[in-house]
Amino acid sequence: MTQFRGAKLSDKKIIAVLGATGAQGGGLVDAVLADPDGPFRVRAITRSATAPKAVALADRGAEVVEASLEDEDSLFKAFEGAHGVFVVTNFWESFSADVELAQAARAARAVKAAGVAHVVWSTLEDTRGVLDGRVPVLQERYTVPHFDAKAEADEFFRASGVPTTFLRTTFYWDNLAEHFKPQRGEDGKLVLTLPMGEAKLPGIASEDIGRTAHGVFLGGGQASGQRREHRRRAPDRRGVRRGVRRRTGRAGVLLPGAARPVPGARVARW
Ligand SMILES: NC(=O)c1ccc[n+]([C@@H]2O[C@H](COP(=O)([O-])OP(=O)(O)OC[C@H]3O[C@@H](n4cnc5c(N)ncnc54)[C@H](OP(=O)(O)O)[C@@H]3O)[C@@H](O)[C@H]2O)c1
């Protein structure tokens, strides 16, 4: 029995979750709902409360509110009264670092205005020190815009003064069953194309990002100002191949060490 058992729902602290209908935020919603004796209740933020995923969250007991990262006032209202806020931006809707930066800036101003006690900001590292000169410059100043823009946006949360944990996420293993799933080559064999050479690839099940955020909120202020990185498992290409084989039971999956064209192969995105 935990110290929270029996607490009235109204006594619980609110964790407001951006991206609640998506992979990362959805994992956090799941984690809070799976912990009914815990100190938190969840407020799921979506642009459309009538969309099927949002309705499903309400059916499972989440408070569902509408807000958009494009509308600062709506964010302020969605964050009001919350103890904690999980912020994730979705680069892949706009493909624009500027849009992602502007969204993160709005969220940082809104958490400050709402008096939130603890933010978990889902971020990625700045690739520029590592990749400068080795890949083209994109969107004026980036090497990997969706990484670099998130890293730049860290400063908005630091400057806000709101206690923030910087959750550096990583490649979702889910991608290997989705964007990067094995494709059948011209010879009929399944091929998994990840041009990773001999590098190691850290990864995580996307739902575990939300679980980690839940753990960070449970840990309270001690995690604020800190950076948390998902780096525990980083297999090389043989390890990735073993994992895919284990999960799919497909013996034919190959993993080339370098990029080569495969019909239907997708560009790297995470
Ligand atoms: N794929 C990977 O391997 C990987 C790894 C690390 C980091 N990431 C990063 O993860 C981010 C995407 O997160 P995800 O995978 O959890 O997302 P997702 O599953 O694709 O879902 C997108 C979520 O973002 C919400 N959203 C989008 N635009 C919004 C807006 N203007 N205002 C409010 N909410 C908005 C959507 O909510 P509604 O539609 O309900 O409004 C939805 O819940 C990307 O920026 C990506 O760079 C991805």
Q: Which domains does the chain have, with CATH numbers?
A: 9-168+206-232 (3.40.50.720), 171-201+236-270 (no CATH)
95-154 residue pLDDT tens: 999 999 999 999 999 999 999 999 999 999 999 988 888 889 999 999 999 999 999 999
Q: 121 C-alpha to center of ligand 1: Å?
A: 13
Q: Which two tokens stand for residue 246?
A: 């284990």
Q: Is there an atom of ligand 1 within 6 Å of 193 CB?
A: no
CA-based torsion, 125, 126, 130, 136: positive or negative: positive
The pLDDT score that the predictor gives to residue 105 is 98
Ligand 1 neighbour 89 (Cβ under 6 A): yes
How far is residue 153's CA from residue 149's CA, in Å, rounded to a whole number? 6
**Contact residues for 155 (Cβ-Cβ < 8 A; gap 6+):** none
List all residues 6 or more positions away from 224 whose beta carbon is below 8 Å from its beta carbon.
118, 163, 164, 165
One-letter amino acid for residue 15 of the chain: I
Range among 2-6, 199-203, 223-227 rated most confident: 199-203
Q: Could you give the 3-state DSSP secondary structure of residue 211?
A: helix
Q: Do 104 and 206 meet the contact criterion of CB atoms below 8 Å apart?
A: no
Lowest mean pLDDT segment, chosen from 14-28, 132-146, 160-174, 241-255? 241-255
Question: What is the maximum span of the chain, computed from C-alpha positions, in angstroms?
Answer: 62
Q: Is the CB of 68 under 6 A from ligand 1?
A: yes
> What is the per-residue pLDDT for 186?
83
> What is the DSSP pairing of strand 227-229 with strand 164-168?
parallel
pLDDT given at position 253:
66
CA atoms within 13 A on the CB side of 111: 30
Q: Indicate whether residue 178 lines ligand 1 (CB < 6 A).
A: no
Phi and psi of 178, rounded to 5°? -125, -100
Predicted pLDDT at 259: 42
**Is pLDDT of 225 > 80?**
no
* pLDDT attached to residue 218: 96
Q: Please name the residue ranges forming H helices in the chain.
A: 23-33, 52-59, 72-79, 91-94, 97-114, 128-131, 145-160, 206-219, 237-248
Q: Specify the pLDDT at position 193.
A: 79
Q: Which two tokens stand for residue 111?
A: 């958490």
| Cα–Cα distance measured from residue 203 to residue 188, given in angstroms and rounded to the nearest whole number | 28
How much of the chain exceeds pLDDT 70, in percent? 89
The C-alpha atoms of residue 270 and residue 217 are separated, in whole angstroms, by 24
pLDDT category at 2 given cuts 50, 70, 90 is: very low
> Who wins on pLDDT, 149 or 259?
149
> Ligand 1, atom 15: nearest CA belongs to which residue?
23
Number of Cβ within 10 Å of residue 224's Cβ equals: 17
Q: Name beta bridge partners: 16.
A: 43, 85
Tell me if the pTM is above 0.85. Answer: yes
Q: Could you tell me the pLDDT band of residue 7, with boundaries at 50, 70 and 90?
A: low
